[in-house]
A and B are shown apart, each in its own frame.
Chain A
């Protein structure tokens, strides 16, 4: 029960956090010199056209009034109206967020399924060839520029070998599945279209790998070092002395204790990735939040910038909360 009240308390904190975020982003984005009405009106627009636009978007109102209006809308679940796309920001989010979520989940899946076993293997076979290889792999991952890696992957697998498709979420000629979640892998299965599913899967492989590589490398290193630390502790020696099988010691006793830093890193990475991986999205032409927000900033689309920041901060806070809850399960000593 304690954990429930803890979660509720943390959720209540969300309100001041998000309020703070809106205020900060509002101030910062309005401090940028530039005029969104001018941007929207076009290169050569007359002053009259710009003023008409400014009025119709409410940009002629005093700043505090604009902010209060925004908050009033927010309470009713209205994230505002995008200046650039001329439609509610919520609809933009509906279109762009699922692509980012899909890519994030796919890369996290890769991180965890490859990174954790590789880290364990390195720890168990410490200073043996497999450990060295995994170290090289990790150093490569942390230091490789994503931009270059993405291009090289495309050049090799798409242009030269022709094994995998090029950029985008689906082949150019394939119609997207009917919108349910916006996650193509899921929606295509729900629509019973195996061909689209396979195509979406083929398309996500390279960007997911490219995006996960950095985090994969970090996770491998962290699992390795925390495994080594745990393996040297007394309770493991005791377990060994009791004749417990090595595989049980590793998987049950060491891993569970070594997972706490891994969970922290994974949580933080998901939060970071949900904000959109701008470079990966650009190279693989992935229509996600990263590209959306860069365009919005270039266009001074204030409501879109605010909406984006709110959604990402919301997700970030929730993920942090989830990570804290997972701690309690991993380590019985942690109590809330």
Chain B
């Protein structure tokens, strides 16, 4: 009798609870994205994190935006808040004409003053994002709709930097929230004040972030009314929610779970060549690694296709040259290392470096690194290099890389704007030693000259020629082991339409043009 009552009680409990669960699948105006990382700060002048930009980007307008060509993201820019622009012959002075009629939520107009305020604020605060628009020397409001920007020196990718999150135009009225001269940083860390198509309507930390479409947006009206960004750290959790239709897009599903998802007819798994590359920094200042023959030998030992097939399950391509495929300046015929054990041994012999002991440091930042480290260990053993693996916490690793206190280190890199300088100048200019970019501490005066000259020019053909020349030298000097360029995999419900991936906007979405059908 007792057992019967118990069963009834449990049955009723489940029935009551289950009845309380409504589905979001039917709601065509709400998009739910499952993501694996929480948001930390919303200030475009402070955050250097793509996961923050995911929320910030759709809430602000910028002078220019990336073009969408045939439903695909491109690296070219087109007007956004700026109607048009002109540039002086020496490429130093840029004059932008601002579109009339754009307003912030409180009615303040988005005008030349707002642009000046925003850029000056980023530069004055001087945190990470200031580097993105660091080419700017002065910003001046000529009249209400004209902004004149003077650069420190000619800078090829300047227009592209204006499409980054750092160049978001903030309402100057935020200054009423300023405390102790912080330029409203404390307030903007938790609030948004932009003129973009969406605004924040809720942020429950660690749970979800809700963006709502603005009815009076000056551009095309978004099809979605609401976007819920749901923080779900576990890959399996995201997978279950996607399969159940509780979320529409899942951002953090591990590669090994993708094949199972592809069998589900309600789910589409989309793959895009990304600009995210993974590579090994070889510390060129380390006495053991100063000889380029040793570095070439290490490059020759690696089983590139093996790593791509077994670790990435085919979701990547071996890099050819430092500039990835899809970025202009990519050199399709530059020398590429292939695995050749005999040659590797020979190179080490020539360098007089047989029986070499090296240490590779890596962190748990990417789940694949553990496996890659093990493969490198075995590959290097084949040419007689004894590789010790050292796993460490990410902050510790970064500190070591910055100080040059390592021999080999696994790393990843993605560009902030569509310009080969994000690779060529960051990685190889000897002024950028350490974390800022030249993590191999590589110094070649000829390369320094070439990449610096290329950065100051605005003519694309001339720049490509200089970068090509530099790439030839670099591939011989082999300061990095260029492993692969990854694919970004985005599984989503089949009813999600209009999603555009842009490799420059990793983890950021075009919510304004996505719909559910």
Binding site for B on A (CB under 8 A): 32-36, 38-49, 52-53, 56, 84-87, 92, 95-96, 99, 151, 154-155, 158-159, 162-176, 195, 198-199, 201-202, 205, 282-285, 287-288, 291-292, 295, 298-300
Contact = CB atoms under 8 A, between A and B. Distances in A.
B20 interface: yes
B18 A163 contact: yes
Given A38-B435, A173-B24, A166 B240 contact: yes
A43 B435 contact: yes
Contact of B30 (A35, A36, A92, A173): A173
B206 A202 contact: no
Contact of B395 (A39, A44, A92, A170): A39
Interface of B: 14, 16-24, 27, 30, 32, 38, 40-41, 43, 46, 48-49, 125-128, 130-131, 134, 185-186, 189-190, 202, 204-208, 228, 230-234, 236-237, 240-241, 243-244, 246-247, 393-396, 398-400, 402, 413, 416, 426, 434-437
25 contacts: A33-B399, A38-B395, A40-B48, A44-B426, A45-B127, A45-B436, A49-B127, A84-B40, A95-B206, A159-B243, A162-B244, A164-B14, A167-B232, A167-B237, A167-B241, A168-B232, A172-B208, A172-B246, A195-B20, A201-B17, A283-B237, A285-B237, A287-B231, A295-B38, A298-B394
Contacts of A36: 395
A128 B163 CA distance: 74
A52 to B, nearest CB: 4
Contact of A48 (B126, B241, B393, B395): B126
Contacts of B396: 32-34
Given A52-B127, A166-B237, A199-B20, A32 B435 contact: no
A173 B127 CA distance: 36
Given A165-B21, A201-B17, A86 B237 contact: no
A287 B205 contact: yes
A228 B122 CA distance: 71
B436 to A, nearest CB: 5
Contacts of B232: 167-168, 285
A188 to B, nearest CB: 11
Nearest to B402: A38
Contacts of B126: 48-49, 52
Nearest to A171: B21
Contacts of A171: 21-22, 24, 246
A56 B180 CA distance: 12
B189 A158 contact: no
Contact of B234 (A32, A283, A288): A283
B21 A38 contact: no
Contacts of B185: 86
A306 to B, nearest CB: 16
A89 to B, nearest CB: 13
Given A35-B395, A41-B48, A44-B426, A287 B240 contact: no
B244 A287 contact: no
B395 A300 contact: yes
Which of A165, A172, A202, A295 has the most chain B CB atoms closer than 10 A to its own CB?
A172
A166 B208 CA distance: 14
Contact of A87 (B189, B236, B237): B189
Given A45-B131, A167-B241, A170-B207, 13 more contacts: A42-B128, A45-B128, A45-B436, A46-B131, A52-B127, A86-B185, A155-B240, A162-B18, A163-B18, A166-B244, A176-B202, A282-B234, A287-B205
